[in-house]
Amino acid sequence: MAKFQTTRWSLVLAASDQSQERRRDALAGLFESYWFPIYAFARGQGYSEEDASDLVQGYFAGLIEGEKLRGLEPAAGRFRSFVIVSARNFFNNERERIAAQKRGGGKALESLDSMAAERRLANEPVSPADAEFAFERRWAETVVARARKRLRDELIEAGHEDRFELLGGLLSSSGVTHGYREIAERLNLTEAGVKSLAHRLRKRFGVLLRGEVLQTVDRAEEVEDEIRYLLAVLSRN
């Protein structure tokens, strides 16, 4: 049996013609990773908490069935673009059926914690006019957060969680550049050693970020453009 491709987008494409079990496994990862941006997009369109949860669950249930994926080719574009268009179309098509039945026909994925999502949304209300940009911002935040988590997990596994806790704010080149002396004392390093460590962590974070972005594009050569775009989205007020 052929293995799924390593990129998330290719995995999604492969999920359209694999067994139901393998398709569910493939899409479960997507559901976990990108549930919040899509849920927040639905809320930004004016749907209630309950309706948004049902819509997103139904959207992913449809992906599991493969109906939205048949005939798609890698040239169809970045996964981010596919999601925003297909989710918006799905929401529009399902508007009249939300109250009639639960989505998924008994095959729906387990819903994530909408209460936690609502707590996040409480601090960043979105109007329908801003919903699409907010989706892209939350998507960018999700990609960056996943890369940060992978770096943190690596450091914890190596027994260096304290390095992440102290240097996590220095991962970007525009991060805070003061406090090296205090960090050096806490890590029992010289200031030069801390700066060198921060440089290595930034470099590793960049590798992990590129790995995350690679999962959402069709071709490796698109990674740098996508990173620039996502960072530009995050820099906008």
| Domains in the chain, number | 2
Q: Are residue 11 and residue 73 in the same domain, yes or no?
A: yes
Report the Cα 181 to chain-centroid distance in Å. Answer: 35
Nearest to 177 by CA among 195, 161, 202: 195
Q: Are residue 150 and residue 227 in the same domain, yes or no?
A: yes
pLDDT at 210: 94
Please check whether residue 133 lies inside any domain of the structure.
no
- The amino acid sitting at 97 is R
Distance between CA atoms of 59 and 193, rounded to whole angstroms?
49
Q: Are residue 224 and residue 164 in the same domain, yes or no?
A: yes
Q: Are residue 94 and residue 181 in the same domain, yes or no?
A: no
- Containing 58, the helix (H) or strand (E) segment is helix 49-65
pLDDT at 24: 67
Q: Are residue 150 and residue 217 in the same domain, yes or no?
A: yes
Please check whether residue 121 lies inside any domain of the structure.
no
Q: Are residue 151 and residue 68 in the same domain, yes or no?
A: no
Q: Which two tokens stand for residue 139?
A: 């998507």
**Residue 6 DSSP symbol:** S
Last residue of a domain, one of 99, 126, 153: 99
Please check whether residue 131 lies inside any domain of the structure.
no
Domain that holds residue 66: 1-99
Please check whether residue 111 lies inside any domain of the structure.
no
Task: Answer whether 40's CB lies under 8 Å from 134's CB.
Answer: yes
List the pLDDT tens digit at each of the 237 positions of the chain.
333 334 566 666 665 555 666 666 766 777 778 888 999 899 888 888 888 888 888 888 777 666 666 555 555 568 888 888 888 888 888 876 665 555 444 444 455 566 667 777 766 655 666 888 889 999 999 999 999 999 999 999 999 999 999 998 888 655 555 588 899 999 999 999 999 999 999 999 999 999 999 888 877 888 999 999 999 999 986
pLDDT at 44: 87
Distance between CA atoms of 155 and 20, rounded to whole angstroms?
36
Q: Are residue 203 and residue 149 in the same domain, yes or no?
A: yes
Please check whether residue 46 lies inside any domain of the structure.
yes
Q: Which two tokens stand for residue 228?
A: 């620039």
pLDDT at 80: 87
Please check whether residue 22 lies inside any domain of the structure.
yes
Q: Are residue 93 and residue 5 in the same domain, yes or no?
A: yes
Q: Are residue 80 and residue 157 in the same domain, yes or no?
A: no
Angle of helix 180-187 relative to helix 191-214, nearest 10 degrees, comes to 90
CB-based contacts of 125: which residues, under 8 Å, 6+ apart?
Answer: none
pLDDT at 221: 87
State residue 181 phi and psi, 5-degree precision: -65, -45
Please check whether residue 128 lies inside any domain of the structure.
no
Q: Are residue 24 and residue 93 in the same domain, yes or no?
A: yes
Last residue of a domain, one of 49, 66, 99: 99
Tens-place pLDDT, residues 50-72:
888 888 888 887 776 666 665 55
pLDDT at 113: 64
R_g (Cα) of the chain, nearest Å: 20
Please check whether residue 218 lies inside any domain of the structure.
yes
